[in-house]
A and B are shown apart, each in its own frame.
Chain A
């Protein structure tokens, strides 16, 4: 039995007030709050277990290295990777996808080669590919979404041509909540010798992920959305791809030997982890993964599915609310505008007065905003600690917005 009140008690910030009202935090899509277990792990790492990793032979360096490297098998299990060395530590999905772009795609793509991506990608899964377009003439092939916010896997597969080298897709839209059928696309990509990189920033937070079952080449996640510290994260890389990747950040820790006339690389994954990493951030992420798996990803997904269904039912009663993304199997992420309200910022400002945190703007997804024909939306994104009562609080505040602005 999922006891959401017990879960809430694990998050110190949820007991604070904002503008005199209990905090209703519905901006989890941007960043999630941290449980006590993560805060304690970070504090302990600095207070008792801190030194640089992979370097000294002294006690604390060994201890810190042990704690830090213990996060790798946790990430392996969390993502369902076949091998521990398929996990590269990163500062988040942005760094992970840039590694795919600079390290794997840039050396092997010629002018005219194509990358297939959807219009609902986050900028983190767009801009690294634009770099390749600018610098070496790579062509971006955009696949549209359906009216309900879904992405037809066959439309992606149909976009694959003889020049296509990579498919870059989100697993769950950060704006619409739509879940993409990665497994079907990945199978078709493999049959055609095309690689697939997946932005799992949102999906890994809200549902169990198994990269071996999905059969993808690259899968990027970001720790701060996973109830862990900011600037933590990971990139899954299928082992067979490692020989094809050129490291793109050079420095300490990634090398076995450096001479005046050459270098020998360290083995993956360390080959791709140059410089002193986010030691404590990664240790904190390990605690966050323990916390989530302790609750159970299936249980978290079931709780959020209940919130989604309840919110959808409540929103249906608001005939002036324009909801973007209406698939019944989506994640609990809702983007909307209100008829008559001048701007998403107006809505955000008013609901903030009621202690409700939502995001207003373009959500780092400008091509999607253009596709939807809206300048900006408000987004309420739910997490494992949100409640039906918070859905009610949001609906009440939206009704006030409608009354104020119309």
Chain B
């Protein structure tokens, strides 16, 4: 059941797997696998409100909030027309999903993704817009905190 394992893989598990992969090709192969295993968004969810601007390929993030107040837990689903970007979204979901707004605010996403050797995707000019995606997640978390 590769789909189930990918969906339930925690960020730490992903990071452990990355640690075993010395070759960049194998790291990409793994990112692509994570992307393939991530469930796609429904076409009706791909609307301007969920689209993340600043990405050269198309990216959508759909947030979900479970519970109320300070304990509300945030998750999101996502999709892209680029396979590597889908994989990056899957890694972001592992990093963020099910956490509270306060926890998300405390995560140094750039440092965590740096642990995976994906630094090159974090430069300001990088067209896949990982930076823009992280910005969207952090903005959603900030909104939830303000509402709480």
Contact = CB atoms under 8 A, between A and B. Distances in A.
Given A361-B56, A404-B32, A405-B32, A345 B84 contact: yes
Interface stretch (B12-20, B23-31, B96-104): B23-31
A19 B27 CA distance: 15
B28 A343 contact: no
A353 B57 contact: no
A361 B56 CA distance: 8
B85 A345 contact: yes
Nearest to A350: B28
A7 interface: no
Contacts of A360: 56, 127
Given A349-B84, A400-B25, A404-B25, A343 B57 contact: yes
Interface residues of A, number: 15
Contacts of B81: 342-343, 375
The secondary-structure label for the interface of chain B is: helix
Nearest to A400: B25
Contact of B28 (A341, A342, A345, A353): A353
A346 interface: yes
B32 A345 contact: no
A312 B25 CA distance: 26
Contacts of A375: 81
A366 B84 CA distance: 24
A346 B83 contact: yes
A346 B85 CA distance: 8
Nearest to A349: B84
Nearest to A361: B56
Interface in B116-130: 127-128
Q: Interface range on chain B: under 10, 10 to 19, 20 to 34, or 35 or more?
A: 10 to 19
Interface string A370-406: 0000010000000000000000000000001000110
Nearest to B127: A345
Contacts of A19: 24
Contact of B57 (A345, A350, A400, A404): A345
B82 interface: yes
Contacts of A346: 32, 82-85
A361 B82 CA distance: 12
Interface string A334-353: 00000001110110011001
A346 B80 CA distance: 11
Nearest to B33: A404
Contacts of A341: 83
Nearest to B128: A345
B73 interface: no
B25 A345 contact: no
B9 to A, nearest CB: 20
Contacts of B82: 342-343, 345-346
B56 A342 contact: no
Interface in B77-91: 80-86
B24 A353 contact: yes
Contacts of B84: 342, 345-346, 349-350
Interface string A259-274: 0000000000000000
A342 B24 CA distance: 19
A350 B25 CA distance: 8
A112 B24 CA distance: 57
A400 B32 CA distance: 13
Contacts of A353: 24-25, 28
A199 to B, nearest CB: 25
* Smallest CB-CB A-B distances: 6 pairs: A343-B82, A342-B83, A345-B82, A345-B57, A346-B83, A342-B82
8 contacts: A342-B80, A342-B86, A343-B57, A345-B56, A345-B85, A346-B32, A350-B84, A404-B25
Given A345-B85, A349-B28, 11 more contacts: A342-B85, A345-B82, A345-B84, A345-B127, A346-B32, A346-B82, A350-B28, A353-B25, A353-B28, A375-B81, A405-B83
